[in-house]
Structure 1
Amino acid sequence: MDVVVKKKTDYKKVFGKVLGVCVLLGGAVVFYNEYNLGDYSSVKLERVTTSNVIQGSFENVAPVSGAAESLNTVYLDAIQGGIVDKLYVEKGDFVEAGQKIIEFKNTAFQLQVYSQEARVSEQLDINTNTRLSIDSKRLNLETERNEIEYDIKRLTRKLKNYQRLISQRHVSADDVEAVKEELEFKTNQLAIIRQEQESEDSVRGEKVQQLQESEQRLKAHLNIIRASLDDLVVKAPISGQVTSLDIKLGESKSQGEHLGKLDQIDRFKIVADVGSFYISKVKENVKGSIQYQGKPYQVVVDRVYPEIINGTFKVDLTFSDQQPTDITSGQNFIVKLELSEPVSSLMVHNGAYYQDTGGKWVFVLDPENHTAIKRHVKLGRKNDRYVEVISGLAIGEKIISSSYANFLDSETVILE
């Protein structure tokens, strides 16, 4: 009879197999944790753009678009208004300062001016007559005083002669007494005239001063009234080009109504639209530059308009020194605003990836360019070419800098 012999279990072999499986599983876990291949995408290497992390001079600039406009624009308005009687220029014409542009006819206004002019002229005539009256009274008093003084001298001599002749009985005592009385009357009359002259002189000085001041005001008013007729003629306040003139002969325009626009043609500014992101960084006197026909030109922010419309605000930039000689109104430029001085910094090319990730993470390539692993980073300032690297990347490392739209949810990108 056969006897069944039981095999002894080889625990060493079993333990070895279990250990091998554990090692494989552990390696898989380590590999997974290290390379995070959980969610991955594949893409051909030539379909993406890569950029190296470098150390360089980071320029904190903001590129903005703008258009050239006249530095000095004057709006033409109807000061008095009326019927357009004459048109001396057309839109697009070049004019000199003081040159006539439009002439209005306004009969009611002209009659009003003539009426005011007549009233002022009448008042000036009254003032003139008053001054003549004052001067005439002064002359009359002076003449009367001279006559009285002459009479006093004559009567004094006559009294002396009568007093000498009375002893010789050539004149009577009544004759002497009559001369004395007349001399006394003239002397009293002279005292009254002198007192009247003194009083009149003090009053006359004040009256003459008041009349002079009144005449000055009236003449100034008269000049304004006469000059107001010039308001019917619109003249060019500066030399330049008529860039707007929406008006026709015979057309009626109200007082203050807009007529057109005149642009200075030898000096320009650039009006740029700046993203609201830079509202706290762009201030007056911030410098910038443009390129025109291969030559750089320096500009500076002259004015900031803080109102944000459709995500942008406007700034005026003027040329610091020289401006291009052949630019025209409406010509477009790219302006690089210098938000701070250049600094040495770790940086990487700016690209579509920044919009996809907000600069919070990137795909970093391995040395062989076979895979790109998602890595969280901290990026700082950016310009049109580079983004400043704060942390998470080292010099020489390479990232995918093109769009991440096709693998936003991946942890790894396999580059084929």
Structure 2
Amino acid sequence: MSLVELKMASGPGAVSGGAMDRVVERKKIDKRILIGAGAGAALLLILLFWLFAPRGDSQSVNPNRLTISKVQQGTFEDFLPIRARVAPLVTVYLDAVEGGRVEQMAVEDGANVVKGQLLAVLSNADLQLSTLARQTEVEQQLNNMRSQELALQQTRSANRRELNQVQTDLSKAQRMYDLQRPLAEKGFVTGKAFNDTKDDLAFQKNRLLILKRSIAEDEQLQANQLGQLRSSTASLNQSLSIARGSLSQLQLRAPVSGQLSGFSIQLGQSLQQGERLGQIDSAGKSKLEGDVDEFYLGRVEVGQTASIEVQGKTYGLKVSKVYPQVRNGQFRIDLIFDGPEPPSTRRGQTISTKLTLGDSSRAVLIPNGAFFNDTGGNWVFVVNERGTSAERRAVQLGRRNNDFIEVLDGLKPGERVVTSSYSGLVDKDHLSFDTGE
């Protein structure tokens, strides 16, 4: 390895590097430009935050979890589907009018019975004894009243006999007076004898007047007494009938004709007074009982028609009764058949019933959905044309059936709305659709 020695030139001819250095001045940015740029950046950040930050009245949802339906023009059929239950048209309940022990069973549960048919026989020793005692007491009172009535009749007969005697005596006195008067005028009868005859005639007349007045007063009194006695007799006879009827209540009989149900008493069983024993349902006659949403309370009326379809055949019905009580958001209606009844229905069976509320008409329609219960039909979420979001819009909805709701204002055919439940969204005005991709 060789070393090369380098020597620096020196002397007056040497060139110094210091002559080549110069001061470079730094250029400064105008403060106004910096302030403007900062303000612009801040505005941009605010704008981006406003565009992309979540809003308090907005929510991002997955559209796959929503039901989006199209507004359309069509025919609205104003009917209401009801799940109705088959029930007997008339039900008569059987209660134990008198308590007792079951001694005999004449029919079994489920049997068809006729009015007056014997169902069971009870025994009640206390009732039988008290009824017999009551019957004896009533009969004694009736006998006493008959005796009083007989005495009154006898008094009346005696008065009539006395009246007849007085009238006879008066006639005799009158004849004697008429006989003696001309003789007394000629002197053939003494004055004393004629005066006695004259006084006797006056006495018999007064006697008759007094007797008639007395008989009239007795007659009025007796008539009042007889009226009271006969009234009391009728009341006692009624009491006797009730007493005897109490015993007859120990024989349980069918009050009406029909099918016996719920009749589950057993031999030897002790029944309390007023205890429910079963019921008799009208044979061959049924009705339907349905529960209707309270929304339709003002639209359902007695006389409206309905129909059911059983085994391919349609049967007509009409509303016979609307119960005003609302329970759990529903009220009950009764429907009776307007014509023949389906032969295959059974008590307790549930049948789909179509209740007609009005005439069909052309209208703007949206499918019926769970949203109605959340909004009351006052607003809906309307999806934009691109299908990326939905906005809250006030609408006016009218009639509805199981399939569609009539739109009165706020929507046009072709628009799309969210018809699924709005649970958790009722306080939102904007929905952003997030597909999750």
TM-score (norm 2): 0.68
- Aligned counterpart in structure 2 of residue 303 of structure 1, from 322, 325, 332: 322
8 Å CA contact 1:104–1:232 kept in 2: the answer is yes
* Paired position in structure 1 for 2:237: 219
* Paired position in structure 2 for 1:350: 368
8 Å CA contact 1:306–1:313 kept in 2: the answer is yes
- Aligned counterpart in structure 2 of residue 394 of structure 1, from 389, 392, 412: 412
Paired residue type of 1:374:
A
Is it true that 1:374 corresponds to 2:390 in the alignment? yes
Q: In structure 1, what is the Cα distance between the partners aligned to 2:107 and 2:389?
A: 70
TM superposition shift of 1:148:
4.9
Name the Cα RMSD after superposition.
4.6
TM superposition shift of 1:345:
0.7
8 Å CA contact 2:305–2:316 kept in 1: the answer is no
Q: Decide whether aligned partners of structure 1 residues 197 and 308 sit closer, same or farther in structure 2, where only a CA change above 3 A counts.
A: closer
* Paired position in structure 2 for 1:328: 346
- Aligned counterpart in structure 2 of residue 65 of structure 1, from 64, 76, 83: 83
Unpaired runs of 5+ residues, structure 1, are 1-28
8 Å CA contact 1:64–1:334 kept in 2: the answer is yes
* Paired position in structure 1 for 2:272: 254
TM superposition shift of 1:80:
1.5
* Paired position in structure 1 for 2:31: none
Q: Percent identity of the aligned residues?
A: 29
- Aligned counterpart in structure 2 of residue 361 of structure 1, from 381, 404, 423: 381
The more displaced of 184-193 and 207-216 is 184-193
TM superposition shift of 1:317:
2.5
8 Å CA contact 1:158–1:179 kept in 2: the answer is no
* Paired position in structure 2 for 1:338: 356
Paired residue type of 1:307:
V
TM superposition shift of 1:59:
2.5
Q: In structure 1, what is the Cα distance between the partners aligned to 2:138 and 2:63?
A: 95
- Aligned counterpart in structure 1 of residue 73 of structure 2, from 34, 55, 58: 55
Q: In structure 2, what is the Cα distance between the partners aligned to 1:202 and 1:276?
A: 69
Q: In structure 2, what is the Cα distance between the partners aligned to 1:387 and 1:364?
A: 21
8 Å CA contact 2:381–2:417 kept in 1: the answer is no
TM-score (norm 1): 0.71
8 Å CA contact 2:317–2:335 kept in 1: the answer is no
Paired residue type of 2:397:
G
TM superposition shift of 1:322:
4.1
Q: Deviations over 1:55-93 (max 9, x none)?
A: 222123332212111121111111122112222211111
* Paired position in structure 2 for 1:77: 95
* Paired position in structure 2 for 1:242: 260
* Paired position in structure 1 for 2:106: 88
* Paired position in structure 1 for 2:289: 271
8 Å CA contact 2:315–2:337 kept in 1: the answer is no
Q: In structure 2, what is the Cα distance between the partners aligned to 1:261 and 1:206?
A: 49
Q: In structure 1, what is the Cα distance between the partners aligned to 2:263 and 2:307?
A: 34
Answer with 1 or 2: which has the greater Rg: 2
Q: In structure 2, what is the Cα distance between the partners aligned to 1:250 and 1:204?
A: 55
8 Å CA contact 1:365–1:400 kept in 2: the answer is no
- Aligned counterpart in structure 2 of residue 106 of structure 1, from 91, 103, 124: 124
